[in-house]
Each structure stands twice: as structure tokens, then as C-alpha cells.
Amino acid sequence: MSIGSFPATRFRRAKSSPALRRLVRETALSTDDLIWPIFIRAGDDDETPVPSMPGVSRLTIDRAVKAARDAADLGIPAICLFPYIDTALKTETCDEAWSPDNLTNRATRAIKAAVPEIAVMTDIALDPYNINGHDGIVRDGVIVNDESVEALVKMALAQADAGADILGPSDMMDGRIGAMRAALEAAGHSNVCILSYAAKYASAFYGPFRDAVGASGLLTGDKNTYQMDPANSDEAMRLIDRDLREGADMVMVKPGMPYLDICQRASTEFGAPVFAYQVSGEYAMIRAAADNGWVDGPRIMVESLMAFKRAGCAGILTYFAPDVARALA
């Protein structure tokens, strides 16, 4: 590439007015890029703020329906549901995870009935239902893989039966995508998408999320035997390749901003839709800094999401989704 010398080349020419800057802008962010994660809880016409996530609350199903309506009106194409489960329903066998009438499945049916145009994404992992706080079943202190996959498949089928449009396996068990895809096809759910958490790192950025779903105090040990080592990049590519081969329609990198290099590698090497999750810790840091007046909140919010698009992401899961949609409008 050859670049002319000054003064023939002046990069400031194309920056000299808002109109020119818009014309040469390389990356665009729109509401079409957004998935809004929301937390749901039991009860009626109520919500509970999450202290470690300012501006975020756990919503009862009726309020989640209203949130879905608001999201659709803003042009947000999808929401993602995460349940806050009563401790009395948490067990070692995690049976509540695939109950047709569990909190997630009831919320999915209610939202699809009231706001059919919005896509509902659900989470597939056992930690909200596990008395041990892990994403898989624990036997003698070990998170067992194959038995966990069997449970996750039942969970996937129950969510598909409830009307979920996108399933989000976040468990990081080996072989779960292939098993879910085969079960979905056999059950007649061939059009249900799988957005696999293919590169999910064992990260310290998840702390506020675990507070939001009520898993923080229950977790025994850590998740290092199934989530990724933050030092690894090539492993992420192998995991993404495997999940795409097993039937994932889309893949996710989680967390987001600390792993923009992984987002870019994945989008370049595979050409499949790559999503990033701007996780609870990322949101909480930005929101806290903005609330304290240390940064320009609206600008840094949009700038942080633009980074994902610049790295090649097809979309972003972000708690800022409604605020961003309003700002873009």
C-alpha cells in the first residue's frame, strides 16, 4: 500500500466536518447488532435491583414481558433470559433445569405470546439449578462431562418446546453441541438456532453476574476444569471449529473487551457469525465510572460496543442494549 506524502495527503481533510467523517467511517453499530440480557425472578409485578450492576434488576415475568415489548419497540432483535432460582429448587441432580414449567420456560412462553416478533435466547447451563453452583453435575468433587451433557440436552429440548428461538449453551462441556443438535433434529426443532459459548474463559469478570443469578455463595471450588485458560488463543480456535462442525449456527466469545483478539481471529478464520458478551464485570466498571463522573458514560458505552464491531463481531450481548438503542435513534 502506498500513501502519498504531505501535503498531497492530508488525513485531516476527511475529518473536517461531521458529514465527511460519516462518509469515510469504516465500522457501523446499529440496534440490529444487540442482544439484551435480562434477569428474571419469581413473583408478580416486581423487580429487585442487582447491587453490583447499577441500573440492572431481576424482573418478574410480567415485567420481563414489558421489557421485551420495550426492546422490540426500540428495534432490538433479541433478548436473553437468565433466571434467579429459589435456593429450595437447587439440587445436586438439577432436575428443575428441564422442568417444562420452570421460570425460564414460563417466561419464554409469556414473551413469545405477547411479543412474537422478538427472538428469545435462553441459557443452557446447570449453575442456576445446581446446589454446588457449577455448570455441570458434580460427583465426588468432580464436574462430570457425559452425565452433564445428558442433562443439558434435556434442558435444551425443554427450552425449545417452550418456544425459544436461540439456545445458548454456556456450560463448556465437551460434546454438548453435537448432542443437542441431534436431539433437536429428532424432536422436530430443526429451526432452533444454537449460539454456542464456544470460547468462554475462566474469568474474574463474571462476579456481578453470579450475584444476579444467586450463584456466588454456592460455588464450590472454581470452574477452571471446563472454562478456558485466559492465556490461551489457539485453543479458542479449536473449540470454535469443533462447535461449528457439531452444528452451532453462531459462536460466542466471553468475556468481550479483554478478548477482542479472539473475536478478530474467530471472525477472520471461520467466517461464521461471531458474537461477544460484554459481561457483567465490564458493564459494572463502565457504569460505576460513568455514575461517578469519571468518564463520559454515553460516549464510552458506544465506543466500547464499536470495538466489538471493529473486531469483526456480528453482534453483542450487552446490558447497555436499551440505552444504546436510544442513543443510536
Q: How many domains does the chain have?
A: 1
Domain presence at residue 173: yes
Q: Count Cα neighbours of 182 within 13 Å in the Cβ-side half-sphere.
A: 11
Range of the domain at 134: 29-328
Domain assignment present for 20 = no
CB atoms within 10 A of CB 1: 2
Residue 15 lies in a domain: no
Ramachandran assignment for 293, one of left (phi > 0), alpha (psi -120 to 50 degrees), beta (any other): left
Q: Which residues are catalytic?
A: 200, 254
Q: What is the pLDDT of residue 219?
A: 81
Query: What integer pLDDT is reported at residue 1 of this predicted model?
Result: 61
What residue type is 293 in one-letter code? Answer: G
Per-residue pLDDT of the chain (329 residues; tens, 9 = 90+): 667 888 889 999 999 999 999 999 999 999 999 999 999 999 999 999 999 999 999 999 999 999 999 999 999 999 999 999 999 999 999 999 999 999 999 999 999 999 999 999 999 999 999 999 899 999 999 999 999 999 999 999 999 999 999 999 999 999 999 999 999 999 999 999 999 999 999 999 998 888 888 776 778 889 999 999 999 999 999 999 999 999 999 999 999 999 999 999 999 999 999 999 999 999 999 999 999 999 999 999 999 999 999 999 999 999 999 999 999 98
Helices of type H across 187-320: 207-212, 234-246, 260-270, 280-291, 297-310
The whole-angstrom distance between residue 222's C-alpha and the CA centroid of its chain comes to 20
| β-bridge mates for residue 119, sequence order | 78
- Concatenate the DSSP letters of all residues of 143-166 into one string: E-HHHHHHHHHHHHHHHHHHT-SE
Residue 33 CA, chain-centre distance (Å), reads 12
Pick the closest to residue 278 from 250, 326, 324, 316 (CA basis).
316
User: 299 burial class (0-12, 13-18, 19+ CB within 10 angstroms)?
Assistant: exposed
- Does 65 map to a domain? yes
Q: Report the CATH number at residue 111.
A: 3.20.20.70
Evaluate whether residue 141 is within a structural domain.
yes
Residue 129 resides in a domain: yes
Q: What is the pLDDT of residue 153?
A: 98
pTM score, whole prediction: 0.94
pLDDT of 2 reads 67
CA–CA separation, 251 and 230 (whole Å): 18
In a domain, 212, yes or no: yes
Q: How many CB atoms lie within 10 A of CB 241?
A: 16
CA distance 91 to 154: 16
CB 180 within 8 A of CB 52: no
Q: Is 145 a member of any domain?
A: yes
What does residue 60 show for φ and ψ, rounded to 5 degrees? Answer: -70, 165
User: Distance of CA 90 to CAs 5, 138, 141, 154, Å?
Assistant: 67, 13, 17, 17
- Cα–Cα distance for residue pair 71/203, rounded to 1 Å: 29
